[in-house]
Each structure stands twice: as structure tokens, then as C-alpha cells.
Amino acid sequence: MSGEDAARKAEDGGDKAVEGLAAQLEGAAVSGEGAKQKTLEEATSEKDKMAQLLELQKQLLGIKGLTTPGEHKFWSTQPVPQSSSGGGEGADEDDETKVGPLEVKTVDEVRQTPYALPKGFEWCSLDVDDEEVVKEAYTLLTENYVEDDDNMFRFDYAPEFLNWALKPPGYRIDWHVGVRQSSNKKLLAMITGVPAKVHAHDKVVKMAEINFLCVHKKLRSKRLAPVLIKEVTRRVNLTDQWQAVYTAGVRIPKPIGVARYWHRSLNPKKLIGVGFSRLGDRMTMARTIKLYKLPAEAQSGTIPMEPKHVADVTKLLREHQKQFKVWIEFDEEEVAHWLLPRDNVIYSYVITDSNGKVTDFCSFYNLPSSILGHDDYDHLKAAYSFYNVAHTVSFKQLMRDALIHANANSFDVFNALDLMENSTILKDLLFGIGDGNLHYYFYNYAVGPELKPQDIGIVLL
């Protein structure tokens, strides 16, 4: 047997085992009787069961129908603002006006033991200091993480990116939660959290920034995600923290705001070739290439950020972000982590005055996507706008330099959300509007009426 055959056989064996576990999970998810199905996420503690029963009672009393389309069996039990049609805990509160925590608890009320998983699965903490573990997380994500609606592209966060995203100052391994197959320890699901100091209106709230929720494709729709969310919540709560910030393409109860991605072609030929974009009406490929062409050199004096710029960038960023209704405060150590350039991960540039003081800066991160089933290309190299502050040049000039740097670093496309002041320059710099929304959420914290994108000063990875 060739090495390749052996690998395929091992992989097949692994997949069969996952399928076996999937059947088991299915059983755990639907083994209830009567009108109320006993689901995995419900079979956890007496307190949870009571909450579920109360919810059921409300439903049976006609407060909301059992099978109302769009109802959220899990999210309606969580301390998040509920949409007007959603009902659930907190539905009586006036979501439009309430600001602050939705539920207040103490650490001694937090469950000490992990939530139950069906036989064959076990919890782990993802020890991201171990390169092998980072590779395992990479493999799970590269094969199973977010795809576009047409399943043409899938995010391909590189291992060095995960090292950056999951190890900021103050990170905790126990906030990086994994589910493994007991028999062979294969990583089958994960969710991660890192600490963030979030400003919401005029309050500062210590939050967990939640990301990388992923369930292996063969274990989907079996209510494993709610168990992962509850387990990471438990672990965060045990550290006396009660709020979280997260973004998702899906709409669940209830976004604090909604943003939209815009895309600026850098390599239009490839983007059109792989089906990411289309040739415009009355446009030829030659005219399209000419339209998007950028100079080789930066035009506004931006140079790569260095450690000596950290203190100035920290001040500039803080002063700038204050104008938004929600934003994350970074201290110098965090700015050094999040913004100092790392090859193939984060790109940051500054403009300095004659004394070397930083006056402006821009940044973007590298998040490629795998191109699924294409003969000529396997990856799309995408830059994502991160944090930018313009003072001595216009915001448009600064962002044009960001595009030039991204192009010089062989990115195919530059993506930016329409939040902060971004929407003022998108059209002028030839960005085209994308088709998906990115929803912003807080867990257990209400911010009053939905925020406009230009009020949001948070970019997550």
C-alpha cells in the first residue's frame, strides 16, 4: 500500500468513526418523548431544565407558538436581547431602551463541572502554546469553517494567524475549548475566547471576545454548538466575567448592529477567473485591469510600523476610537501584539512627522480563503481592513496607501466593513458592495437601540 493509500485509509477510518459518533449525537439530541424533545443542550443541570420547562410553559400558554418559524430554541434561553418577535427570557424588557447587563450572577452560582457530552466525546482546553495543537485547530477550521453561501470559498486561517489571534496579552488556555473524539483524540469541534476591554457607550466592560465556533461537517445540526457556547460561557463565568462580544454572518437574537463587507479588487483577472467577481457591463478585461491598477509605491509616506511606534499608535488609536459608541481599548502591550507587523498575518504602516512622532496609521490582516474545486487556483489572498487613523493626510489618501501596500504584497482583494468612517471612502476607492451582512453581538449586555455601522469601532478577526 502506498503512503497515500495508507493515509486515505486512515482518513476513511477516521471518517467512519466520526459518522458513528454523529449517530450517537443524533440519539442524544432527539431521545426525548412527547411534545418536548430532550436535546443535548437541555440535558445538563436541574436549573437549566427548570428554565427550559418555564419556557415550554410560556409556549404552551400561547405566549409564542412551539413551531414559530425563526424561533431560537437555544438563544431564547440566553441573556441576550430578544427580537420583538422572538420572545424568550428578557423579552418583557424594553430592548430598545435598556443599557447594561441583562443578568447578574456571582461565581458561586456557576456550575463547577463541565456540561455533559455524549459518550465518545470529551472536552479539552486547546493549549495554543503547543504548535501541534495549533495545527489541529488549523486542520479542523480549514476543512470545516465558514463558507460563502454558494460554497465556493472557505476561510483558511493560517496556523501563524491562529497563534496571533488566540494568544493576545492575558489569554487563557481554558477559554479555548475543544471537543475531541475519545477513541483517537481527533479534534471535532471548538470555540475560543480572548479577553477584551470593551467600551459600550460610556461604560468599560471586561468581555470575552468569542470566535472560531466550529463543528465538524459530519456532526452538524445535532445541537453541539449550544453545548460549546454554554461550556465556554461557564469557563468565562468562572473567572468572574459575564459579558462577551462576537460577530457572525447569521442573524440570531439580537445584533447590537449590522455591518456589510465591501471588496476592492486588486487582481481583477483572478477574481473574475475564480468567480469572486464578474466583469462589469460594457467592460473588457483590459479596461478592468487598468481601472484597478495601483502605483507600486505608497503615495502618502506610510512606512512599516516598528516597536518604537507603539506608544504613539496606542495614544492615537485611543483618542480616535473614543468617538464610537462601542470600541475596544488596547494598552501598549496589546497594540504591540495586535498591530506590530507579522509576516503573512498583520500589516501595519505609520506616517511620522519630522521628529519621528506617529501622526497617522493604517493596518490590515491576511485572511485567505480556500477556493473549492477550481482547477487553476486553490487560494484567494484577501486583506481585511483593521484599524486606521488619519490626521495629516485625508482618510482616503491613507486608505489608498493601504491598498497600495496590500497590492505590493500580492493580495488579490482588499475587504473593508462599512463601519467606523469607512463608508466615506469606499465608493471613491472603487470598492464594490458585498452580499453578506456581518452581525455584531454582545452577550449579556444591552446597548439600547441598534447601532448604526458608523457607531461601531470594533473589528474582530
Catalytic residue among 380, 398, 426, 461: 461
Report the site for ligand MYA in 74-93 (rule: CB under 6 A): 74-75
Identify which range of 129-137, 179-187, 220-228, 301-309 contacts ligand MYA by CB under 6 A.
220-228
Identify which range of 56-64, 245-253, 342-350, 408-416 contacts ligand MYA by CB under 6 A.
245-253
Q: Is residue 387 near ligand MYA by the rule CB under 6 A?
A: no
Q: Give the interface size with ligand MYA as a residue count (CB under 6 A).
A: 35
Q: Which three cell numbers stand for residue 1?
A: 500500500
* The total number of residues written for the chain in this structure: 461
Task: Give the CA distances from residue 203 to residues 95, 207, 335, in Å, rounded to whole numbers and listed in that order.
Answer: 18, 12, 21
Q: Could you confirm whether 461 is annotated as catalytic? A: yes
Nearest partner of 90 among 60, 55, 44, judged by Cα: 55
What is the C-alpha separation between 71 and 124, in angstroms, rounded? 31
Give the residues across from 122 on adjacent strands. Answer: 180
| 161: Cα within 13 Å, side-chain hemisphere | 21
Q: Which three cell numbers stand for residue 131?
A: 504548535
Q: Is residue 221 near ligand MYA by the rule CB under 6 A?
A: yes
Residue from 161, 212, 330, 395 that binds ligand MYA (CB under 6 A)? 212
Identify which range of 71-79, 299-307, 319-327, 395-403 contacts ligand MYA by CB under 6 A.
71-79
- In this structure, how many other beta carbons lie within 10 angstroms of the beta carbon of residue 305? 25
Nearest partner of 403 among 262, 308, 272, 275, judged by Cα: 262
**Sign of torsion, CA 248 249 253 257?**
positive
Give the x-and-dash track for 417-456 against ligand MYA (CB under 6 A): --------------------------xx------------
384 neighbors 339 (Cβ within 8 angstroms): no
Q: Is residue 21 near ligand MYA by the rule CB under 6 A?
A: no
Which amino acid type is present at position 274? V
Q: Is residue 196 near ligand MYA by the rule CB under 6 A?
A: no
In the complex, minimum distance from the CB of residue 150 to ligand MYA, in angstroms, rounded to a whole number = 15
In the complex, minimum distance from the CB of residue 251 to ligand MYA, in angstroms, rounded to a whole number = 9
Nearer to ligand MYA, 73 or 379 (CB): 73
What is the C-alpha separation between 52 and 62, in angstroms, rounded? 15
22 neighbors 219 (Cβ within 8 angstroms): yes
First to last CA, the chain: 42
Report the site for ligand MYA in 302-331 (rule: CB under 6 A): none
Residue from 117, 210, 335, 398 that binds ligand MYA (CB under 6 A)? 210
Identify which range of 48-56, 117-125, 204-212, 339-347 contacts ligand MYA by CB under 6 A.
204-212
Q: Is residue 225 near ligand MYA by the rule CB under 6 A?
A: yes
What is the C-alpha separation between 433 and 427, in angstroms, rounded? 9
Identify which range of 54-62, 117-125, 243-251, 283-291 contacts ligand MYA by CB under 6 A.
243-251
Which amino acid type is present at position 58? K
Nearer to ligand MYA, 224 or 305 (CB): 224
User: Beta strands of 217-357 (E only): which ranges?
Assistant: 243-248, 257-265, 303-304, 326-329, 346-352
Residue from 232, 272, 389, 458 that binds ligand MYA (CB under 6 A)? 232
Residues that bind ligand MYA in the complex, under the rule CB under 6 A: 72-75, 144-146, 208, 210-215, 220-226, 229, 232-233, 236-237, 242-244, 246, 248, 250, 252, 443-444
The catalytic residue positions are 461
